[in-house]
Amino acid sequence: MDEHLAGLNSSQKEAALHTDGPLLIVAGAGAGKTKTITHRIVNLIKTGIEPNKILAVTFTNKSAKEMRERILNEIEKNAKGNIEQNTIPFVSTFHSLGVYIIKENSRLLGVTRHFTILDEGDSLSIIKEALKENDLDPKQYEPKRMKGIISREKGKFTKMEEYFENATDYLPRIVARIWKSYEAKKLKENALDFDDLLLKATTLLKENLEVRKMYQDRWSHIHIDEYQDTNEAQYIMSKLLSEKHKNICVVGDADQNIYSWRGANLKNILSFEKDYPNAKIVLLEENYRSTKNILEAANTIIKKNKYRPDKNLFTSNPVGEKISLHEALEETEEADFIACKILEIADRQNVLEKSIAQTDEPSTAISQQGNMRAFRENILPVWSDIAILYRANFQSRVLEEAMLRYNIPYQVLGVKFFERKEIKDTLAYLRAAMNPESLSDIKRIINFPARGIGKTTLAKLFAGEKENLPIKMQIKIRDFYELLEDTKEQIQTRTASEVIKYIIKKSCIEDELKNGDEEELERLENIKELATLALKYDNLENGLGVEKLIEDASLASDQDSIMITNEKPEKINAVKLMTVHASKGLEFKYVFVTGLEEGLFPNQRDTENKSAEDSEEERRLFYVAITRAREKLFLSYANFRTIFGERRINTPSQFIGDIPADIIEKGDEDPNVKTIYI
């Protein structure tokens, strides 16, 4: 047997050894899908497929990075003789792939290579301008709602012209007008929004035979991860790229489709066999993560869904502890109970640590770790082993308050480093230097730091009336644009981190913030952290480092930039608080799933006016939540909860009743519970 297949189970080997034709890998939670894809790619290379002929696409930068590192590691160990220097598989997110295709064909799309990728805030600002331009009140026609409709249509691979032609009702006609103005403004700024990265690239592949053939010849073997999360644009892109060779391998799990609100279409994975009649299907059902009790709960829960391929997760792991269920009077008591349970986990850690330290003859297991510190890090539970999951963001407040009351270190996941104002300001300098047509970036930074350039001056500048401004104001504007020119020169000749440091000093951002209050000093430290982050791009020359930094910042997802740190979020020693959506792809030793009440989880609002497939999404979301746990799962609900200022009486979630009673223990009946309310 080949060395690189050692450690794979029979189903994983079957998938890894499949080299020709379409392949669907149905991978249950914790079943080792990334490992399987990695070994399949290595096997392709060992059979003679050139590494640069292989494409692997996933959804987050974090997942792409992990997959890339695993592939390179396995290649280095097992396939050295087959690889030429500097030829590696192309591993990317869908949006990064879109950027790659657009940049290589920018002239065909009417943009320059250095186009700006608008973030959510920039897009909303432009839509607000479009509303005013069309004499529509942004308060009546909320920009976020307009953007949401446009985004959903782009995900469905609907072009603005098609939508405009079919808009017959009142609201669609309004949206069509706004969409048309929005596109015109973006074109003027040489800018694309997040959805354009998929729509434009896919349209190009579909409508330009020469371009499509170029990429089909470039990549003979396509891998798509999390296929159940693809929208229509991603689905069409995948199909077009694999059209010639039909060597497409998709990995997914219908039971973990939780993004229909983003346009993810469950039918894409359910109809794979119809799209590719000769497809091979491999089920990965062996779970390496959770205990038997947790898996029994997960299997029982998800079997109630009808729109799914039948599968049943199993494991060789121990039976494990029963699932704890706690009924709280109201949300504060629920949060206090969770905090006390977390302290008990920490206490057990301390007791175990002391008993080990007092042992005269350390065990072989400990000695193999090298020292006590290594043992603590690898064996004993720590704060970061614990996660608290909730259905809606507002639930975090009462949980955070409990963490503070009990002095428990915690970290709220989902706070994007790249969304901080000072970081967006600094990156705007880079974007404006590379793309002077980006009026959104100019508007953002022309008066940061303060230069005395107000809205009236800015309006005249953008209207081409600079010569009508006072001489002193013209000088200020000239100096600003000279700074952008100087920055552009720096970008071409210096490293990414050096350019950030240059901007901080030359723009006077440092002078503006260093003498300020504590908040402003923190903002300065955050910008300096950006310079530190930029170090990893310093090996790229001729402006490519800054270009890649801007691209990665624009495409960062919730999981890609969780905290202002260079450490992986899971390595920060703190209890993790996050929504269930944000937890996808993560795992923890101890997991608390909170707020299990009818109307909240399952969320009643999110099941209204949905298709039969989409109406099952709340159950899939609960399935994702409980399969994050490795060893112990805690469930809780409150009889009373205040939501939006209204105190509500709750009934327990239907999901609780679906779990077999013999694997549940009531939290207040657990003999280990020592609840101490403060």
Residue 53 among the catalytic residues: no
Q: Active-site residue among 19, 34, 474, 675?
A: 34
Q: Record the pTM.
A: 0.82
Q: Active-site residue among 119, 193, 195, 226?
A: 226
Residue 256 among the catalytic residues: yes
Strand duo 629-643 + 646-649: pairing:
antiparallel
Residue 668 is predicted with a pLDDT of 56
Residue 673 is predicted with a pLDDT of 43
Neighbours of 671 (CB within 10 A): 6
Q: Give me the mean pLDDT over the 115-123 stretch.
A: 90
- Could you give the CA distance from residue 30 to residue 433 in angstroms, rounded to a whole number? 45
**φ and ψ at residue 288, rounded to 5 degrees:** -105, 5
Residue 378 is predicted with a pLDDT of 47
- State yes or no: cis peptide before 602, omega within 30 of 0: yes
Residue 18 is predicted with a pLDDT of 94
Banded pLDDT at 459 (limits 50, 70, 90): confident
Rg of the chain taking only CA atoms, in angstroms: 27
- Could you give the CA distance from residue 177 to residue 127 in angstroms, rounded to a whole number? 11
Residue 33 among the catalytic residues: yes
Banded pLDDT at 94 (limits 50, 70, 90): very high
- Summarize pLDDT for 12-48 with one digit per residue, the tens: 999 999 999 999 999 999 999 989 999 999 999 989 8
Banded pLDDT at 88 (limits 50, 70, 90): confident
Residue 667 is predicted with a pLDDT of 63
- Could you give the CA distance from residue 260 to residue 183 in angstroms, rounded to a whole number? 25
Q: Active-site residue among 12, 38, 202, 256?
A: 256
Residue 330 is predicted with a pLDDT of 94
Which of 35-39, 80-84, 530-534: highest mean pLDDT?
35-39
Q: 126 versus 532: which is more confidently predicted?
A: 126
Q: Percent helix, strand and coil across the chain, each rounded to 5?
A: 55, 15, 30
Residue among 486, 484, 506, 505 nearest 494 (CA):
486
Q: 407 versus 4: which is more confidently predicted?
A: 407
- Could you give the CA distance from residue 43 to residue 14 in angstroms, rounded to a whole number? 11
Q: Give me the mean pLDDT over the 651-670 stretch.
A: 86
Neighbours of 282 (CB within 10 A): 20
- Could you give the CA distance from residue 27 to residue 20 in angstroms, rounded to a whole number? 20
Residue 307 is predicted with a pLDDT of 87
Q: Is residue 160 classed as helix, strand or coil in its secondary structure?
A: helix
Residue ranges with strand state E in 238-314: 248-252, 280-284
Would the pLDDT of 601 be above 60?
Answer: yes
Residue 526 is predicted with a pLDDT of 83
Residue 225 among the catalytic residues: yes
User: Comparing 113-117, 285-289, 351-355, which segment has the lowest mean pLDDT?
Assistant: 351-355
Task: Report in angstroms the alpha-carbon separations of 556 from 434, 495, 497.
Answer: 20, 21, 19
Q: Give me the mean pLDDT over the 175-203 stretch.
A: 95
Would the pLDDT of 643 be above 80?
Answer: no
Tokens read off for 185:
């403004």
- Summarize pLDDT for 541-580 with one digit per residue, the tens: 888 999 999 988 888 754 444 333 334 445 678 999 999 9
Q: Active-site residue among 70, 147, 154, 628?
A: 628
Q: Give me the mean pLDDT over the 243-269 stretch.
A: 90
Neighbours of 2 (CB within 10 A): 13
Residue ranges with strand state E in 70-219: 90-93, 116-117, 191-192
Q: Active-site residue among 74, 153, 189, 225?
A: 225
Q: What is the mean pLDDT of the chain?
A: 86
Would the pLDDT of 374 be above 50?
Answer: no
Residue 245 is predicted with a pLDDT of 95
Question: Cα angle vertex 229, ends 224, 231, to 5°?
Answer: 95
79 and 44 Cβ atoms separated by less than 8 Å: no
- Could you give the CA distance from residue 393 to residue 379 in angstroms, rounded to a whole number? 32
Residue 40 among the catalytic residues: no
Banded pLDDT at 455 (limits 50, 70, 90): confident
Would the pLDDT of 428 be above 60?
Answer: yes
Would the pLDDT of 315 be above 90?
Answer: yes
Tell me, what amino acid is at 597? E
Residue 451 is predicted with a pLDDT of 87
Can you tell me which residue has the tokens 């997110």?
93
Q: 260 versus 155: which is more confidently predicted?
A: 155
The distance from CA 341 to its chain's CA centroid, rounded to whole angstroms, is 29
Banded pLDDT at 350 (limits 50, 70, 90): low
Q: Is 116 exposed, middle or buried (0-12, 13-18, 19+ CB in 10 A)?
A: buried
Residue 213 among the catalytic residues: no
Q: 613 versus 634: which is more confidently predicted?
A: 634
Banded pLDDT at 62 (limits 50, 70, 90): confident
User: Comparing 162-176, 307-321, 328-342, 361-375, which segment has the lowest mean pLDDT?
Assistant: 361-375
